Structure 1
Amino acid sequence: MKDNRKRGRAGMRERAAVLAEEPLCRLCLEKGLEVASDVVDHIMPLAWGGSDERHNKQALCTPCHDAKSKTERKLAQRRKIADFD
């Protein structure tokens, strides 16, 4: 699958804009915590058909991003196993 992610200066500008718009981690805020965001995450991963548009991006802290990515990898692995059943 082709990766339609914005790259170069355009990607850097958009990442900076997302972090400026959402200085606090979106997932931590849902838990009542105020933690600085430092990663721009695709809500629906590009590999799963998500877009690289702003509405599919959120700012997260590194621990939340890592946990979300781990969960997504597990789900992707389960899908691959289910496809072989």
Structure 2
Amino acid sequence: MPMKPAKPCKFPGCPNLTHDTYCDEHKTVARKRYEKYERDPAINKRYGRAWKKVRARYIAAHPLCEMCLKEGRFTPVEIVHHIKELSDGGTHDESNLMSVCKSCHSKIHMTRRNTKDKTIM
């Protein structure tokens, strides 16, 4: 099987070609950037096999973004969102879950972030 052609490194401004997402020079830098947003290890333990089953069941029951549906748009679900974060005492209970697309998920977290910033000030 022939090797795929090299493509540009995804690191902003990098001219190197690679067969991976990032060239060797930027793999560790990109990994450190990603880990900056990684969950607390105690929270990660709550996202095991049981969560995958709950998530799959929820997606089967709610295959469209619930926020988009309210606005009359039919967007496939991409993320099962916890309404109350696990770090704040939330659970995997269906009443604490919401099917959302990536765009709506970003909106939710931007709103949360802005609200938290205002309470700190």
TM over 0.5: yes
Alignment RMSD, CA only?
Answer: 1.9
2:81 aligned counterpart, secondary structure = strand
Larger CA deviation: 2-11 vs 12-21 = 2-11
In the alignment, structure 1 residue 64 sits paired with structure 2 residue 104: yes
The one-letter amino acid of 2:67's match is L
Give the Cα–Cα distance (whole angstroms) in 2 for the partners of residues 5 and 77 of structure 1.
Answer: 28
**Does structure 1 conserve the Cα–Cα contact (< 8 Å) formed by 2:84 and 2:96?**
yes
Residue 44 (structure 1) shift: 2.5
Gaps of 5+ in 2: 1-41
1:35 aligned counterpart, secondary structure = coil
Which residue matches 2:92?
52
Which residue matches 1:24?
64
Gaps of 5+ in 1: none
**Does structure 1 conserve the Cα–Cα contact (< 8 Å) formed by 2:54 and 2:92?**
no
TM-score scaled by structure 1? Answer: 0.80
Residue 48 (structure 1) shift: 4.2
Give the Cα–Cα distance (whole angstroms) in 1 for the partners of residues 102 and 61 of structure 2.
Answer: 17
2:73 aligned counterpart, secondary structure = coil
The one-letter amino acid of 2:90's match is G
- Mark the CA change 1:58 to 1:43 in structure 2 (over 3 Å): closer, same or farther: same
Give the structure with higher Rg (CA): 2
The one-letter amino acid of 2:82's match is H
Which residue matches 2:16?
none
Give the Cα–Cα distance (whole angstroms) in 2 for the partners of residues 5 and 44 of structure 1.
Answer: 17
Which residue matches 2:48?
8
Which residue matches 1:73?
113
How many correspondences in the alignment? 80
**Does structure 2 conserve the Cα–Cα contact (< 8 Å) formed by 1:25 and 1:60?**
yes
